[in-house]
Amino acid sequence: MTLQLTDKDQAMLNGDMGRASQIAMRILTTMAEVYGANDLLDITSAHIDGVLYHGLSGLEFVQKLVEANGQVVVPTTLNVGALDLIHPDAFQGTQQVADWARQTMFGYEKLGCQPIYTCAPYQTMARPKFGEQIAWAESNAIVFANSVLGARTQRYGDFIDICCALTGRAPNAGLHQTEHRRGQLLYQLQNIPEKLLHEDVLFPVLGYYIGANSGNKIPVIEGLHTNTTEDQLKALGAATASSGAVGLFHAIGITPEAQTFDEAFQGHKPEQIKLITMETLRDTRDKLATAPDGKIDAVALGSPHFSIAEFEQLLPLVDEHPPNPDIEFIVCTNRIVLEILKKRGWLDQLRSAGVTVIVDTCVVVTPIMRVKHGTLMTNSGKFAHYAPGNIGLSTIYGSLKECVRSAEIGSVWRDESLW
């Protein structure tokens, strides 16, 4: 089937609107055919993952677009880069790699992208409305935008994300279309204690199981409380996108396209029903660890980036239980939250307690941690999933309170009442 282009699309493809948009449209039309799209649609925003330096090809690509006078035509935010530009001394890699990473980040800024450098743009300035067509990269941002906000994006990645931003267009396929957003698999929570349903520690575990068992199907969750918080949904979605390829989930009575069972499944029956019991959750929780409980060397929080609400939970804990100086304790967040921390005096309190706050990047995508060997404890399903392969640290998963208490004593402390 031939891809149908508008006159403006064709003009960009012909180079009538500049070399940068021509490059972008060539890539975009090729990918549209891969997706099986009949045409392109207008988008209202983009979020760019290609800003993270992975090698010279990525740097050369953005430099080519800059040299071609490229400029994004929709509001466009940047995902994490490989450097904390505000605290550059935190970088533990070579000066050469730091220079390339910085050039990549500045290149995207020259294209007109907004330098918020966060994996959680939906908790900053970029919050698309229900039904808006967008082109977002970064797995957790994609699943949050689709699921929690009800915006519509495919699972975009490097470098189609910037091509969409430069043209204002995206392939009209997949999760952009209503019929491809219906739930397919039903996950029923069965006999989960009331207390655990309200605990943050549940959601990365639940998400990790759902992601690992959904394949390319859209999961629907039944049994969560209607007062489930945004940060809990954030953690759930990030874990589903780490263990699997989930780009959209529905939670009945909670997420905007699943206020009822019938709405979640668009009038269809589930293709499969999966029961989630305490045994399921305990088994999944244990899979998030690659080391037995014991001595730890570091704690890392903030994947996705910590919100101000999460810092509100953290601060009294570290005040009461300051980390042992021998335990590296890092929290990743974004620049907007950093400014709020400064204004409230919380940043000084955290630093005095031995907590390092990092912005613009993340501990599992770039060398920031001083600890190179040993065990990392985290409350993030995403950190737990990626740390062993990306930075070579074993992992232990726990609640926020468990992480803080463990950092205080240098070994794993458990709240036995949780599970």
pLDDT of the residue at 1: 63
Residue with tokens 């699972």: 155
State the Cα–Cα distance between residues 103 and 343, nearest whole angstrom.
30
For 45-83, the pLDDT digits (tens) are 999 999 999 999 999 999 999 999 999 999 999 999 999
In this model, does residue 2 exceed pLDDT 90?
no
Q: Does this model's pTM top 0.95?
A: yes
Q: What percent of the chain has pLDDT over 90?
A: 99
For 298-409, CATH gives: 3.30.499.10
298-409 has the same fold as 7-178: yes
Domain ranges of the chain: 7-178, 182-287, 298-409
Question: Which is more confident, 125 or 48?
Answer: 48
Compute the average pLDDT of residues 381-404: 97
Decide yes or no: CATH 3.40.50.10540 for domain 7-178: no
Q: What is the DSSP letter of 205?
A: H
pLDDT at 258 over 80: yes
Mean pLDDT of 28-37: 96
Q: Where are the alpha helices (DSSP H) in 52-159?
A: 56-67, 95-110, 139-144
Q: How far apart are CA 200 and CA 304, in angstroms?
A: 14
Query: pLDDT tens for residues 207-244?
Result: 999 999 999 999 999 999 999 999 999 999 999 999 99
Cα–Cα dist 183/230, whole Å? 21
* Contacts of 27 by beta carbon, 8 Å cutoff, 6+ apart: 159, 160, 163
* Nearest-angstrom CA–CA distance, 411 and 405: 9
303 neighbors 119 (Cβ within 8 angstroms): yes
Mean confidence (pLDDT) of the chain: 97
Q: Which of 32, 116, 17, 38 is nearest to 76 (CA)?
A: 116
pLDDT of residue 80: 98
